[in-house]
Structure 1
Amino acid sequence: MITIWGGQTSRSIRAVWLLEEMGLPYCLRHVDMLAAEKDPAWLAVNPGDFLPALQDGDVTMVESVAIMEYLMGRYGPTLLQPSPDDAAFPTYQQFLHMGEAGLATLIMVPLVSGFIAPEVERDNWGARWARECVERRLLLVRRQLAAAPYMAGDRFTAADISVTYALNLAANHAGFVLSDAEQGYLTRTTGRNAYTRAIDRSHEGVAA
């Protein structure tokens, strides 16, 4: 059985959403990242103490995009991943990784600065620089949406799972203002039944 260690608003939603899209059985184990004492079972899986993590038999992995690639490679083929000879493959690869490396990772800098840093340090140079970098990268997302409904063209792929997480993180937690095109895009991606199921699963068993 595939096990995903995750939290309500963490990057684990990428893996859970992908599993729902692929119709694969899995178990979700919640991790309280704010707990004063961390679950030793969790730290044995990922001593780095960041989400998500995957266990699949003898395989243990962290990093949400790598987990998605593993699942599609191991349990595919799937339409969520264009084949290398597909004309959409290069664009798919770009946005699959940009969703994390070019967007979500940078979004975390102003997000954490805004919520955790002392008041006088919240609008710091690093946070401003990261915000400017994100805004520039969002121009690539907007250019793509001007040409196609999804990140890899006319069909939904794992690249959309990656980018959707980043855009939701930006708008809901880091104060970014999304364009009409980006908001319409999120309506399309988060309107999928698999996304709804993934969100519901991510909230199961979590205290209010």
Structure 2
Amino acid sequence: MITVFGEGRGFRVIWLLEEMGLAHRLRPVDLLAGVENDTEFLAINPAGFIPAIRDGDVTMVESIAIMEYLMARYGPTPLAPASHDPAFPAYQQFLHLGEAGLAASIYFVVGARNLAPESERQNWSASQALDVFQTRLGLVTRQLAHTPYLAGERFTAADISVTYALELAQHGAGVTLGEMEKAYIARTSARDGYQRAMETCQSRKAWFARTPVP
């Protein structure tokens, strides 16, 4: 059985596993309490960040890399269009944009808005990170003006990647999304795989309940 360590970006992995019908379990990791004494987790990822997975003799970190590994190892799957598929370029672009362009930048805004001292919550770096997020979000908006999903007419892992980032922005940084993006999240979050993943990730579910969407 595949073990996923930590929620956060681990939600992407849990959601993917649900969509693929692969057996898994979530092993919680409490980053706020500190991981210094969590020897089991540090044996998996000595750097101490989440998510990580253990799959037999394989251990991995980084949510997008984990997703690509799972789809390659246990595929083929319609969640990952083949390289000759016309949907592949958009799929590949948005799969990585969801982290590199969106989640990675809004993560620092979330930290500033929620954890920094009051005087630092509107600091220059957080504003710059928010600007980066907004410019990359424009690519998502433009794509959704033409297709219901980011790789075209069908749902793919790119939608898992980007939906996570958009929800992080809403709930963590208070970002107000446009009607097109809200409709998109309504489509992706209505999926059975998403709903099952939310039931597994109870900390995420409780966080959403405490932080209503603006």
| TM-score for the superposition, normalised by structure 2 | 0.92
Q: Between 36-45 and 77-86, report the one with greater CA deviation.
A: 36-45
Q: Between 156-165 and 115-124, report the one with greater CA deviation.
A: 115-124
Alignment partner of 1:94 is 2:93? yes
Alignment partner of 1:155 is 2:150? no
| Deviation by residue 1:31-62 (Cα, 9 ceiling, x = unmatched) | 11122553111111111111100111111000
Post-superposition shift, 1:114?
Answer: 1.1
Q: Between 115-124 and 60-69, report the one with greater CA deviation.
A: 115-124
Q: Which amino acid aligns with 1:165?
A: Y
Separation in 2, partners of 1:130, 1:155: 30
Aligned to 2:2: 2
Q: Between 159-168 and 125-134, report the one with greater CA deviation.
A: 125-134
| TM-score for the superposition, normalised by structure 1 | 0.95
Alignment partner of 1:20 is 2:18? yes
- Pairwise CA RMSD: 1.6
Separation in 2, partners of 1:157, 1:197: 17
Post-superposition shift, 1:85?
Answer: 0.0
Separation in 2, partners of 1:15, 1:77: 17
Post-superposition shift, 1:118?
Answer: 1.3
SS at match of 1:85: coil
Separation in 1, partners of 2:57, 2:134: 40
Q: Which amino acid aligns with 2:6?
A: G
Q: Which amino acid aligns with 1:124?
A: N
- Which residues of 2 match residues 1-208 of structure 1 at below 5 A? 1-7=1-7, 10-36=8-34, 37-203=36-202
SS at match of 1:90: helix
| Deviation by residue 1:153-191 (Cα, 9 ceiling, x = unmatched) | 000000000000000000111121100000000000000
Q: Between 108-117 and 73-82, report the one with greater CA deviation.
A: 108-117
Segments ≥4 residues shifted beyond 2 Å: none
- Matched residue count: 205
Q: Between 115-124 and 29-38, report the one with greater CA deviation.
A: 29-38
SS at match of 2:50: coil
SS at match of 1:147: coil
Q: Between 167-176 and 31-40, report the one with greater CA deviation.
A: 31-40
Separation in 1, partners of 2:12, 2:93: 17
SS at match of 2:27: strand
Identity, % of aligned positions: 57
SS at match of 1:3: strand
Separation in 1, partners of 2:200, 2:109: 29
Q: Between 22-31 and 148-157, report the one with greater CA deviation.
A: 22-31
| Deviation by residue 1:54-78 (Cα, 9 ceiling, x = unmatched) | 1111110000000000000000000
| Deviation by residue 1:79-109 (Cα, 9 ceiling, x = unmatched) | 0000000001000000000000000000011
Separation in 2, partners of 1:54, 1:166: 20
Separation in 2, partners of 1:46, 1:17: 21
Separation in 1, partners of 2:206, 2:179: 35
